[in-house]
Structure 1
Amino acid sequence: MNNQPGFHYQEEIDKLRERFRFDFVSLAWVQPAEDRFVLTWQYASGNLNERYKRIVLHSGKGIAGIVFKTGKPMLIQNVAADLSSRDLFNYPIIVAEQLKSLGAVPLWEGKRVVGVLLAGYRTEDRLDESSFELFQQGLETEFGAFRVKEGAHP
């Protein structure tokens, strides 16, 4: 599911980070049923450390889990204003990478969300609704073999 021949996810997220001048871009994949459909961050660009590799999220938990469960993009323009500091433990990628402004989009295969693409900044209010929309449009309708928007045709 997450290894499409001929598509180099690490190279692509490096390009996305550079193109949009993000501080951090990461890609989480849903793990198979025997792993109870958890999500793990598999690729990262601009990361401060390797902690992202140890983050495991269940559906509905953390940014990847929420985007996976709802199938909808998620934007947090200002972490300090939009999330309670008591709730930050529910968002380990924000803490691990010191993100202050970020967005995440679901990656679809057929009618199922199979991954989450997250991009963000370590500065508040850097990603607003219009720049997040431009980012999503910049992905066009596909990322690798996966559709970025539900209903988009591959």
Structure 2
Amino acid sequence: MKNQPNYHYQEEIDKLRERFQFDFVSMAMVQPAEDRFVLTWQYASGNINERYKRIVLHSGKGIAGMVFKTGKPMLIQNVNADIKSRDLFNYPIIVAEQLKSLGAIPLWENSRVQGVLLVGYRTEKRLDQAAFEQFQEKLGMNFGAFHAREVTQS
């Protein structure tokens, strides 16, 4: 984002939502050091309210925080089966957008995770492992100024 200030992320996630028929697509971005490197959802498509704008996550917290920390994609095929209801407060985007099946991938820039792309449905078991992998392949290596890739460390 900082390298391409005129890049239209909102247009890109709108296109992704339409192309893959997701109910919801959002992008969380890392905020500057003076904000203690928190993550906030900056762009959304298919949102049912504006609550996503108020969600602030730290590394390791929530979906975006975990993907940011590990640098690995995350898939939740069925929220009701995979997350206990008493733990849902740890996943504010799921609650705010009533998501039931979702996946998130890290967005890389200069060998560091700079953002998280989340895609989801409001119905259970709509996104499975095969569909999530297919989405990542079709998304390709580029998303805006970012390169979506998993880094293996030796």
TM norm structure 2: 0.95
Contact 2:108 2:114 (C-alpha < 8 Å) held by counterparts: yes
- Cα offsets for 1:36-77 (capped at 9, x unmatched): 000000000000000000000000000000000000000000
- Post-superposition offset of 1:7: 2.4
C-alpha separation in 2, matches of 1:40 and 1:89: 16
**Equivalent position of 1:34 in the other structure:** 34
2:33 is aligned with 1:71: no
Q: How many residues align?
A: 151
C-alpha separation in 1, matches of 2:91 and 2:3: 26
**Equivalent position of 1:84 in the other structure:** 84
Residue segments in structure 1 that go unaligned for 5+ positions in a row:
none
Residue segments in structure 2 that go unaligned for 5+ positions in a row:
none
SS of equivalent residue, structure 1 residue 27: strand
C-alpha separation in 1, matches of 2:77 and 2:57: 22
**Equivalent position of 1:19 in the other structure:** 19
- Post-superposition offset of 1:92: 0.1
C-alpha separation in 2, matches of 1:126 and 1:103: 11
SS of equivalent residue, structure 1 residue 95: helix
Contact 2:24 2:119 (C-alpha < 8 Å) held by counterparts: yes
- Post-superposition offset of 1:128: 0.1
**Equivalent position of 1:95 in the other structure:** 95
Which runs of 4 or more aligned residues in structure 1 lie more than 2 Å from their structure 2 counterparts after TM superposition?
Answer: none
**Equivalent position of 2:116 in the other structure:** 116
SS of equivalent residue, structure 2 residue 86: helix
C-alpha separation in 1, matches of 2:3 and 2:28: 12
State percent identity of aligned pairs: 80
SS of equivalent residue, structure 2 residue 88: helix
- Post-superposition offset of 1:150: 3.4
Contact 2:67 2:105 (C-alpha < 8 Å) held by counterparts: yes
- Cα offsets for 1:1-53 (capped at 9, x unmatched): 44624521001000000010000000000001100000000000000000000
From the superposition, tell whether residues 92 and 3 of structure 1 become closer, same or farther in structure 2 (CA, over 3 Å). farther
Equivalent residue letter for 2:148: V
